[in-house]
Amino acid sequence: MNKIQNKSLNQLAWLRFRKNKLAMISLSFIVFSVFLSLFAYLFISDNTPNANQQILEISMLPPGTEVSFIKIQQNNSLEKSSSFAKLFIGEFHNYKLIPFLSYQEFDNYVEIKEYTKDTLEGDFFYKKILKKDLYDYSNNNYIEQKTFWLGSDKFGRDILSRLIVGSRVSLSVGLISVLISLLIGMSLGAIAGYFGGKVDVFIMWIINVTWSIPTLLLVIAITLAIGKGFIQIFIAVGITMWVEVARVVRGQVLSIKEKEYVEAGIALGYSHYRIITKHIIPNVLSPIIVISAANFASAILMEAGLSFLGIGVQPPTPSWGTMIKENYGYIVFDNMAYMAIIPGTTIMLLVLAFILMGNGLRDAFDTKADSY
């Protein structure tokens, strides 16, 4: 009977959530961001690992600039990447891209007018490239055109490509951190609320001590202790976000363990593990889902802050916080302020989406709301 009631309440909550336009728009934006993040290398122009193809000749391009490149064969031989690697990791190229303005073919070589941004008309440089040095010349595949929709950074990397690949860091840190916080918080909160007594006092002492330490300082301390890197960020952020989960779960369990179906389970001789996992935890999921959405937003902000401070994800892995750090000095220049504003805006939009979705979930699971 309890399972049937929970199912009907969940269906009612979903109907309420669907009627919240802001929440549905936020959910759609999050789903789109996840899809774009997973299949990033299908859509970006720089499909090298971490979108880290550096071409210094085209540094600091304004948005919308289109550049032509000629491919020069590299001496190194690379193994052909698998379809899985191309899709999720990117692909190393055994050719070098040289930007040019125009080119002309001759018998044994190709002459290009080298790409320049600042020289005056007529002050161009020409370069001869032997046809045998061109990449895939037999298939006439040695010319490539790229449009830098958001321009390029000081290293000549495509900003849009790094922005899209950088979404993987924010979303993955948010997801793994929330899962870690749920695992720790739900376990300790359920144990404290169910057993009570000295166990509850001890766990609440741990919760209060952890709660009293500023989150950012705790994350910085953990990061410095276990090192910098991608995995370390997961651990550092995850083990600092479990406190609120544990407090909420504990309060819910204290109320639920007095219910008749829990007492019936105890009378029937069910194990504590079965009662907690089968009868109590399923009934505290509603507030946990709401908290998880808020924690997801907090994890994204925390990761961006750590990367901005230089103790988060390390280069060449793209991160929105790192992009802001590399370009915030350009904010004083009106024509280049976008290089720091764009990643900051993406952080704001994604965090706002999770907050609005969390608010929608909170209203949807509100048992005092009017039924539809």
Give the tens place of pLDDT for each residue, 320-360. Answer: 999 999 998 888 777 788 999 999 999 999 999 999 998 88
Does pLDDT of 368 surpass 80?
no
* pLDDT, position 80: 73
pLDDT at 120: 47
Q: Is residue 188 over pLDDT 90? A: yes
Where do the domains of the chain lie, and which CATH numbers do they carry? 2-35+160-364 (1.10.3720.10), 55-157 (no CATH)
Q: What is the pLDDT of residue 261?
A: 81
Q: Residue 69 pairs with which residues in a beta bridge?
A: 99, 144
User: Lowest-pLDDT range, 120-134, 145-159, 177-191, 317-331?
Assistant: 120-134
pLDDT score for 355: 93
What is the band of 7 on the pLDDT scale with cuts at 50, 70, 90?
low
Q: Quick check: 327 and 339 in contact, CB under 8 A? A: yes
Query: Does residue 65 register a pLDDT over 60?
Result: yes
CA 321/CA 302 separation, integer angstroms: 9
Q: Is 20 helix (H, G, I), strand (E, B) or coil?
A: coil
pTM metric for this prediction? 0.88
Count how many Cα atoms sit within 13 Å of the Cα of residue 96 in the half-sphere of its side chain.
Answer: 11
Band of residue 1 on the pLDDT scale cut at 50, 70, 90: very low
* DSSP one-letter string for 105-129: E-SSEEEEEE--SSSPTT---EEEE
